[in-house]
Amino acid sequence: MTGRRTGITLGAAALAVAAIFALEWPTDRPEAASTFGTLSDGRFSTGMLVGSGDGLVRTAAAGDLAFVLDGDSLAGGFPSTLGAFVAVAHPQDLTTVYGRLEPGTLSTYLTTVRERDILGRVSGAGAAAWFGVFDRAKDAWVNPLILLAPEKDSIGPVIRSVLLSNDERSYRLGEARTVRQGRYEVLLDTADPAGTAAGRAPYSVRLLVDGIERFACRFDSAAAPEGVLLFDPRDARTGPDFYDERGFMRLGTLDLARGAAYLNVSVADFEGNSRELTYQLAVE
Amino acid sequence: MTEEARKPLAAIALVLAVLVYYFVAAGKLEPEFVLAPAWTLGLDGATPSDPADPPASGGATLGFELGRFHGQASADGRLLFAGGKEFRSAVSDGYVIPYALDSDGLTVLDASGAPSYEIRAPGAPWFSAGRLFLAGPEMGSVSEYSETGELLWTFDLGAPISAFAADGGLAVAGLVDGTIVAIERDGSVALRTAPGGSRIEIILGLAVDSARGRIAAVCGIDRQRFVLLTRTGGAYRVASHSYLTTDFRRPVSIRLSADGRHAWYEGADGIVVRRLEDGSESTLDFPSRDFTISEDPVRGLTYLLSRDGESATLVVVSPPDRVLGRYYLPGADAFARAYGDLVFTGSGERLAAFAAGED
């Protein structure tokens, strides 16, 4: 299967799953502190963080308790970077994963679970649980927001800056209206604030140059068929180096020739709130 | 012959019978196995040895992680370094890595406790077979680093890791979707397979013996299985399997013996010893939830450490299942492992070494 077909298949699968299977929020706060795709520990997250008012973490749907790690390491001592965590296998080939739980609070006695059964407590006051959804049939992580009830989010994403950068210099678009011709990497600093959360990734990003789409991704699903996790199997730019060391998204490189250039950057969150900026540049 | 005359003869006959029984009929008594103390070392208040005074045993160091301490000791019983554990730590023979789960870099300490090198990456470190691995964020990847801190390879696994094992040749990850991925030393994939055979696919425990091309797993729910994969003709295939009576939904301990003859894994009623040659099994009646094995190939002994809450039992076994002795070790994180002709143990806040022998 080609990369483009794989990407289309994964996206279609995510939407198809959403159409037939819905999940409950795993805590009493239906608000993501960080979203699928957010920069976390140096790479993008394949799940989301969800705060809990009462400290409890509950099953998002009925299923079978498949795995309970009620400690901080696996058999043999391999450490868990999800902390104590639980995996619940559901019909429709989905597995939900609940991490960052408090060891000793997990419901280890359960075998089958109903929707909203208590799985454990978050580790510490004000802490958030990690929540992920894995599609076993497609070997891919699915953006949980696709399957959860909508958030109450009317705040649009923000575009903090767009940079054109190469080894010699870096231009901040909006401030710089004239740039020298040459090859540049396009860097985007964006976030999707909602409620009390500020550092969330948006749901989709698109870059147009002179009206032609040069980069587009939607954070629907992520898969690692060749040992490298990608949001979009057809685009290697959506891999582990998607974020630079500052947390800026790398949207690819452009060769700017002398004349005028128009760059259009748009970002949107899952609720459809969007932000779009257009820059006109004189290339010398 | 009168009655009086017969009495001496009867006494002589009785003595002769006893002598004949003693020299002829008596069987050979088995020598009793003993662990004789070689040295002990209290960690509380102990001071490390002078670094200029190297260990007598050729520089060999033994890493330990015990209670609130981690560090290194020499095989002849001297403390080289003992640090207080403020966070978690990964320990090997020669190195200690203190770490916190939210740190984005690691400092690797040498046997004297001095910084040796740094790794600038997020994750949690783990040593196995002298190799340093890093569990990546969200249990979704694993990396290996050299002894100088260089990244050798990194691999995104897709689903979260639920089991992991490594030896000198292979690193093997089991995932919550029931997939097993084996990675060669150069980072290439040696195997990617899903044993299947159960209603819910998941890998709960893994063991690897790359020299013999074997990977053993406890996997699946409804029904749970023991599966042995062996490499034949360059590819791994299921060599044997059996359905289990267990219904574990948590990590399961499983080990392969160094001599390639046995698999040890957690059973419903104890530790199951499976003979790989014919698939026959016996069960050792000890707590099985969290156990380790360490082997003395010269003496043909297996040291089995069975943990049970706040204490552990060191069981000396002549494989497959003959128990030669058992020793109580207090402390939730007690450990025991063979080192040459010694058994190196940690319990409470005390390190000790014992020499195996017969009495």
Give the model's confidence band at A3: pLDDT under 50 very low, under 70 low, under 90 confident, else very high.
Answer: very low
Q: Sort out which chain A residues have CB atoms less than 8 A from B144's CB and list them.
A: none
Name which of A45, A74, A240 is nearest B164 (Cβ-Cβ): A74
Asked if the model's pLDDT at residue B286 lies above 80, the reply is yes
At residue B189, the pLDDT reads 96
Asked if the model's pLDDT at residue A241 lies above 70, the reply is yes
* A260/chain B closest Cα distance in angstroms: 41
B165: nearest CA in chain A? A76
At residue A18, the pLDDT reads 52
Can you tell me the distance from the alpha carbon of B141 to that of A229, in angstroms, rounded to the nearest whole number? Answer: 9
Task: Determine the average pLDDT of the residues in B208-222.
Answer: 97
At residue A2, the pLDDT reads 44
The conformation of residue B2, written as its DSSP 8-state character, comes to -
Q: Sort out which chain B residues have CB atoms less than 8 A from A64's CB and list them.
A: 200, 221-222
The conformation of residue A210, written as its DSSP 8-state character, comes to T
At residue B198, the pLDDT reads 96
Give the model's confidence band at A161: pLDDT under 50 very low, under 70 low, under 90 confident, else very high.
Answer: very high
Among B259, B191, B258, residue whose Cα is nearest residue B227:
B191
Cis ω before B320 (30° cut-off from 0): yes
Average pLDDT, chain A: 90
The conformation of residue A269, written as its DSSP 8-state character, comes to -
The conformation of residue A176, written as its DSSP 8-state character, comes to B
Query: Pseudo-torsion of CA A79, A80, A85, A91, nearest 10°?
Result: -110
At residue A1, the pLDDT reads 39
- Substitution target in A35, A45, A78 with the highest count of B β-carbons within 10 Å is A78
Task: Determine the average pLDDT of the residues in B335-358.
Answer: 91
Query: Could you report the per-residue pLDDT of A76-131, keeping only the tens digit for each?
Result: 999 999 999 999 999 989 999 999 999 999 988 889 999 999 999 997 777 899 99
Task: Determine the average pLDDT of the residues in A229-255.
Answer: 91
Interchain contact, B160 vs A240, CB within 8 Å? no
Interchain contact, A130 vs B138, CB within 8 Å? yes
Can you tell me the distance from the alpha carbon of A125 to that of A170, in angstroms, rounded to the nearest whole number? Answer: 42
Portion 270-309 of B in contact with A at CB < 8 A? 290
Residue bearing tokens 């001095």? B114
A133: nearest CA in chain B? B159
Where are the domains positioned within chain A?
3-146, 158-283
Interchain contact, B160 vs A97, CB within 8 Å? yes
B288: nearest CA in chain A? A75
- Substitution target in B88, B139, B157, B266 with the highest count of A β-carbons within 10 Å is B139
Task: Determine the average pLDDT of the residues in B216-245.
Answer: 95
Q: Are A207 and A238 in contact (CB under 8 A)?
A: no
Interchain contact, B135 vs A140, CB within 8 Å? no
SS3 A139: coil
Can you tell me the distance from the alpha carbon of A96 to that of A81, in angstroms, rounded to the nearest whole number? Answer: 17
Q: Sort out which chain A residues have CB atoms less than 8 A from B246's CB and list them.
A: none
Average pLDDT, chain B: 90
At residue B351, the pLDDT reads 95
Interchain contact, A227 vs B88, CB within 8 Å? no
CA B54 to chain centroid: 28
ipTM of this complex: 0.89
Portion 48-107 of B in contact with A at CB < 8 A? 88, 90, 101, 104
Residue bearing tokens 């949980």? A144
Q: Sort out which chain A residues have CB atoms less than 8 A from B139's CB and list them.
A: 80-82, 85, 99
Portion 210-249 of A in contact with B at CB < 8 A? 223-225, 227-229, 240
Q: What percent of chain B has pLDDT over 70?
A: 92
Among A144, A162, A132, residue whose Cα is nearest residue A220:
A144
Portion 157-216 of A in contact with B at CB < 8 A? none
Q: Sort out which chain B residues have CB atoms less than 8 A from A224's CB and list them.
A: 140, 156-158
At residue A4, the pLDDT reads 47
Can you tell me the distance from the alpha carbon of B314 to that of B199, in angstroms, rounded to the nearest whole number? Answer: 37
Least confident of B4-8, B95-99, B263-267: B4-8
Give the model's confidence band at A199: pLDDT under 50 very low, under 70 low, under 90 confident, else very high.
Answer: confident
* B53/chain A closest Cα distance in angstroms: 33
Using the Cβ of B191 and the Cβ atoms of chain A, whether some distance falls under 8 Å is answered with no
Query: Could you report the per-residue pLDDT of B75-111, keeping only the tens digit for each?
Result: 889 999 998 877 789 999 999 999 988 778 899 999 9
Among B209, B303, B191, B190, residue whose Cα is nearest residue B255:
B209
Least confident of A128-132, B238-242, B306-310, B335-339: B306-310
Among A103, A196, A17, residue whose Cα is nearest residue B251:
A103
Query: Could you report the per-residue pLDDT of B27-48, keeping only the tens digit for each?
Result: 555 568 889 999 999 988 777 7
- Substitution target in A59, A67, A138 with the highest count of B β-carbons within 10 Å is A67
Interchain contact, B138 vs A81, CB within 8 Å? yes
Task: Determine the average pLDDT of the residues in B286-290.
Answer: 88
Task: Determine the average pLDDT of the residues in A3-16.
Answer: 53
Q: Which fold has domain A3-146?
A: Glucose Permease (Domain IIA) (2.70.70)
Using the Cβ of A36 and the Cβ atoms of chain B, whether some distance falls under 8 Å is answered with no
Interchain contact, A224 vs B200, CB within 8 Å? no
Q: What percent of chain B has pLDDT over 90?
A: 72
Give the model's confidence band at A158: pLDDT under 50 very low, under 70 low, under 90 confident, else very high.
Answer: very high
A147: phi then psi, degrees, rounded to nearest 5: -105, -10
Query: Could you report the per-residue pLDDT of B293-308, keeping only the tens digit for each?
Result: 999 998 899 999 998 8
Q: What percent of chain A has pLDDT over 90?
A: 75
Interchain contact, A227 vs B189, CB within 8 Å? yes
Give the model's confidence band at A262: pLDDT under 50 very low, under 70 low, under 90 confident, else very high.
Answer: very high
Can you tell me the distance from the alpha carbon of B256 to that of B206, in angstroms, rounded to the nearest whole number? Answer: 9
At residue B303, the pLDDT reads 95
Count of pairs with CB atoms under 8 A, one residue in A, one in B: 142
Least confident of A3-7, A191-195, B229-233: A3-7
CATH class, domain A158-283, is: mainly beta
Q: Sort out which chain B residues have CB atoms less than 8 A from A46's CB and list them.
A: 138, 140
Q: Are B78 and B89 in contact (CB under 8 A)?
A: no
At residue B24, the pLDDT reads 61
Asked if the model's pLDDT at residue B61 lies above 80, the reply is yes
